[in-house]
């Protein structure tokens, strides 16, 4: 367990599970954590080819990379690896390294930053809910949804909802 976050393997049979696991393993990252983000971003949408998805706001691939992304962004493993090294690890360095946050709270803070940016995540955190400025689905914040999916996955269950 690194940062108080479960390193449990993904449940078998998940779409893109082997690619996400490979990227997570290669980068020393918890597979359930990265998959929870991918699930929220694209995989949970029925009928969507998550690997080649391009959103209206310019997000690319499995983890909806924006601003900059590798030329092979349609490769799920490359997409996940890029998200880990360029977005998730820097967020962990801040929330864990600077703020000392661990476990489920770290998962939620990193998710908020991934979705809404560091300044918005910090503002929400300082106001009492790091997910305040994230996108919301049916009234639930992106940060809370990623945490829910991470908890389901790390307990050996496929994500639902």
Sorted by where each starts, the structural domains of the chain and their CATH numbers stand as: 17-154 (1.10.530.10)
Residue 159: what pLDDT?
A: 96
64: left (phi over 0), alpha (psi -120 to 50) or beta: left
In order of 50, 51, 149, the CA distances from 134 in angstroms are 21, 23, 16
Residue of 81, 82, 141, 137 whose CA lies nearest to 113:
141
Q: What is the pTM of this model?
A: 0.94
Q: Return per-residue pLDDT of the chain as tens, 161 residues.
A: 689 899 999 999 999 999 999 999 999 999 999 999 999 999 998 878 899 998 888 889 999 998 788 788 999 999 999 999 999 999 999 999 999 999 999 999 999 999 999 999 999 999 999 999 999 999 999 999 999 999 999 999 999 97
Instruction: State the Cα–Cα distance between residues 105 and 96, nearest whole angstrom.
Output: 10
């Amino acid at each position: 367990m690194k940062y108080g976050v479960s390193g449990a393997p993904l449940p078998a049979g998940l779409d893109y599970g082997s690619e996400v696991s490979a990227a997570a393993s290669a980068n020393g990252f918890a597979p359930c954590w990265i998959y929870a983000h991918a699930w929220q971003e694209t995989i949970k949408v029925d009928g969507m080819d998550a690997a080649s998805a391009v959103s209206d706001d310019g997000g690319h691939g499995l983890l909806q990379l924006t601003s900059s992304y590798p030329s092979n962004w349609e490769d799920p493993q490359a997409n996940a690896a890029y998200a880990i090294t360029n977005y998730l690890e820097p967020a962990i360095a801040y929330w864990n390294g600077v703020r000392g946050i661990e476990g489920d709270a770290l998962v939620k803070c990193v998710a908020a930053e991934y979705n809404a940016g560091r300044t918005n995540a910090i503002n929400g955190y300082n106001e009492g809910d790091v997910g305040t400025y994230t996108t919301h689905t049916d009234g639930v914040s992106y940060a809370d949804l990623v945490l829910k999916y991470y908890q389901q996955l790390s307990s050996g269950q496929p994500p639902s909802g």
